[in-house]
């Protein structure tokens, strides 16, 4: 089931989409059982308390970055302020000279998870989505930590929906820039599965409903520029589409 987060008459809720209308998941939220697409605003699919990203979860991606694999998952955080939705614009900061796409499968947490073994994880996951771990690659090379490289506003596109029923064992993942395939991989090449990652992270921090885990990117990363159209396509979910624009407002010098 594909689930969207929408606004209608100042109310925000999750709904499924059928032909030209939405149907709220919970009855009684509106005066009608269905809501026309024309009367709805489609919002980013989650408002997480945190976005946890997994680095180097595909061996070939580690090789292309010339980075060594560790003996356990490498994780870092993106701020929730980086979230944008389908058809929103990725804004390139003027302070960076190289911003890259990274296609990723995102896990959306459905219930609180803490210190949970892998065999108990699956029922606690709400679903899965396409994500783009947009990265200022020049800052990633320059900085010891990833916060600046990964944390700019709009650097966490996610969507277009949450797929609640999905076998993630072997899913094709592609990045398409201006209608040309630029990145192509498969979740079968992950070093750690989504279930293993959720369990591992739950031993470090409590995962709350709506939290997002980005599970890493295959090899084939590349640069995006203003004017580009970037599509992240994952088998069984759909296509996350974002345009790319430049930001002249970020030229304030560091004092």
Question: Please, are residues 161 and 2 in contact by the beta-carbon 8 Å criterion?
Answer: yes
Query: Are the C-beta atoms of 157 and 131 separated by less than 8 Å?
Result: yes
Q: What is the mean pLDDT of residues 62-87?
A: 87
How many whole angstroms separate alpha carbon 145 and alpha carbon 74?
12
pTM of this prediction?
0.92
pLDDT category, 253, cuts 50, 70, 90?
low
Pairing of strands 212-214, 103-109: antiparallel
In this predicted model, what pLDDT tens digit does every residue of 209-248 receive, in sequence order? 999 999 999 999 999 999 999 999 999 999 999 999 998 7
Q: Each residue of 165-180: pLDDT tens digit?
A: 999 999 999 999 999 9
Residues contacting residue 84 through CB under 8 Å, at least 6 positions apart: 44, 90, 154, 156, 157, 158, 242
Task: Decide if pLDDT at 198 tops 80.
Answer: yes
Mean pLDDT within 187-210 = 97
Q: Which residues lie closer than 8 Å to 187 by C-beta, 6 or more apart?
A: 105, 168, 169, 170, 171, 173, 194, 215
Closest CA to 216 of 35, 61, 2: 61
Q: Are 106 and 179 in contact (CB under 8 A)?
A: no
CA distance 194 to 122: 9
Q: Which residue has the tokens 């998952």?
A: 73
Q: Tell me the CB-side half-sphere exposure of residue 79, using CA atoms within 13 A.
A: 9
Percent of the chain with pLDDT strictly greater than 90: 83
Instruction: At 30, give phi and psi (nearest 5°).
Output: -135, 175
Three-state DSSP state, 60: helix
* pLDDT over 70 percentage in the chain: 93
Kindly indicate the confidence band of residue 98, based on its pLDDT and cuts at 50, 70 and 90. very high
Structure tokens at 215: 């599970």
Interval 11-37: pLDDT, tens: 899 999 988 899 998 866 666 688 999
pLDDT score at 132 = 98
Residue 117 in this model has a pLDDT that exceeds 80 = yes
Does pLDDT of 255 surpass 60? no
Average pLDDT, the chain: 93
Q: In 3-state terms, what secondary structure has residue 127?
A: strand
Q: DSSP 3-state assignment of 108?
A: strand
**Mean local confidence (pLDDT), 55-77:** 82
Spatial separation of the C-alpha atoms in residues 159 and 156, rounded to whole Å: 10
Decide if pLDDT at 199 tops 90.
yes
């Amino acid at each position: 089931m594909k689930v969207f987060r929408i606004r209608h008459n100042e109310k925000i809720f999750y709904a499924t989409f059928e032909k030209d209308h939405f149907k709220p998941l919970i009855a009684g939220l509106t005066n009608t059982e269905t809501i026309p697409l024309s009367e709805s605003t489609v919002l980013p699919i989650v408002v997480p308390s945190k976005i946890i990203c997994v680095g180097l979860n595909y061996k070939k991606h580690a090789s292309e970055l010339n980075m060594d694999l560790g003996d356990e998952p490498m994780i870092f955080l993106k701020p929730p302020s980086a979230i944008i939705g389908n058809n929103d614009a990725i804004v390139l900061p003027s302070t960076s000279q190289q911003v890259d796409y990274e296609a990723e499968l995102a896990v959306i947490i459905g219930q609180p998870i803490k210190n949970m073994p892998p065999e108990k994880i699956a029922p606690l996951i709400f679903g899965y989505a396409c994500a783009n771990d947009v990265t200022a690659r020049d800052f990633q090379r320059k900085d010891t930590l990833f916060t600046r490289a990964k944390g700019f506003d709009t650097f966490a596109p996610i969507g277009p929906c949450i797929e609640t029923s999905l076998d993630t064992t072997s899913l094709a993942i592609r990045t398409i820039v201006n209608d040309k395939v630029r990145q192509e991989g498969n979740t079968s090449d992950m070093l750690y599965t989504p279930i293993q990652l959720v369990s591992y992270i739950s031993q470090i921090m409590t995962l709350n409903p709506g939290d997002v885990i980005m599970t890493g990117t295959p090899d084939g990363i590349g640069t995006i520029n203003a004017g580009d159209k970037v599509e992240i396509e994952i088998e069984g979910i759909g296509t996350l589409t974002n345009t790319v624009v430049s930001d002249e407002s970020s030229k304030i010098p560091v004092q």
